[in-house]
Structure 1
Amino acid sequence: MSVKNKDLAALSVDQLWRLRAEIERLLSSKIETEKRKLEQRLAQLEGRTEPKKRTRRPYPTVRPKYRNPERPSEIWSGRGKQPRWVRAQLASGKKLDDLLISQTH
């Protein structure tokens, strides 16, 4: 199947957007079907009967390490992005060690 540039150029913007949406829908469906086929084939090669399901490893719960001295209900484990209150405390001249929970009790 070939589409000539003249045919596409004759379409309105709305028609082109509808065509694009239809192409995306068809592509995503075909890709998903192909992916399932490949996973089944891989399972056969590995001697499994069902495709392998990916699961995330369980992460242990992390206890909070830092507490906001101004609002004790605000805590942070020290992982991930620093909360605003931590950045504000650091900007005011405090050190991260000053916010440790063992020091705020």
Structure 2
Amino acid sequence: MEKDDWATATTGELWRLYDELTTVLSRRMIAKKAKLEERLRRIERPSRAPNEECACRPYPPVLPKYQNPKNPSETWSGRGKQPRWLKAQLRAGRKLGDLLINRSSGHKRRRAG
């Protein structure tokens, strides 16, 4: 269509053109979406189901290293954020070494390496 044709076209003709255009565009979008989904299926690991958990390496449980002297049930392994009780003890002037859990030599973990 020429530029002059747009200006002289009736409203009905423009609506018909609009309908044809949206139909063609929606078909193309659906086809493109199907191609992209197929590519995604090929990229994903085929051996894993969608809701299956990751088969990660099992990590051993981490033993606690520090214990709250006021409440012995509160412990911390030394990993992650420091618990509130530990922060309070450090603010009170205690050192981290003061809060270590004493283990007998039979209960110490072996280090790999």
* TM-score (norm. length: structure 2): 0.48
Whole-Å separation in 1 of the counterparts to 2:39 and 2:97 = 52
Whole-Å separation in 2 of the counterparts to 1:99 and 1:80 = 17
**Corresponding residue for residue 96 of structure 2:** 96
1:2-29 alpha-carbon deviations (Å, 9 max, x no partner): xxxxxxxxxxxxxxxxxxxxxxxxxxxx
Q: CA RMSD in A?
A: 2.7
Whole-Å separation in 2 of the counterparts to 1:58 and 1:38 = 32
Structure of greater Rg: 2
8 Å CA contact 1:63, 1:77 repeated in 2: yes
Whole-Å separation in 2 of the counterparts to 1:70 and 1:82 = 16
Whole-Å separation in 2 of the counterparts to 1:102 and 1:39 = 53
Tell me the percent identity. 57
Whole-Å separation in 1 of the counterparts to 2:86 and 2:41 = 49
Matches within 5 A, 1:61-72: 61-72=61-72
8 Å CA contact 1:65, 1:76 repeated in 2: yes
**Corresponding residue for residue 42 of structure 2:** 41
Whole-Å separation in 2 of the counterparts to 1:39 and 1:59 = 31
Segments ≥4 residues shifted beyond 6 Å: none
Structure 1: which 5+ runs fail to align? 1-29
Q: SS state of the match for residue 87, structure 1? A: helix
8 Å CA contact 1:39, 1:51 repeated in 2: no
Structure 2: which 5+ runs fail to align? 1-32, 104-113
Whole-Å separation in 2 of the counterparts to 1:51 and 1:39 = 14
8 Å CA contact 1:66, 1:77 repeated in 2: yes
Residue 57 of structure 1 deviates from its aligned partner by 3.2
1:102/1:58 CA distance change after superposition, 3 Å:
same
Number of paired residues? 65
* 2:84 is the alignment partner of 1:84: yes
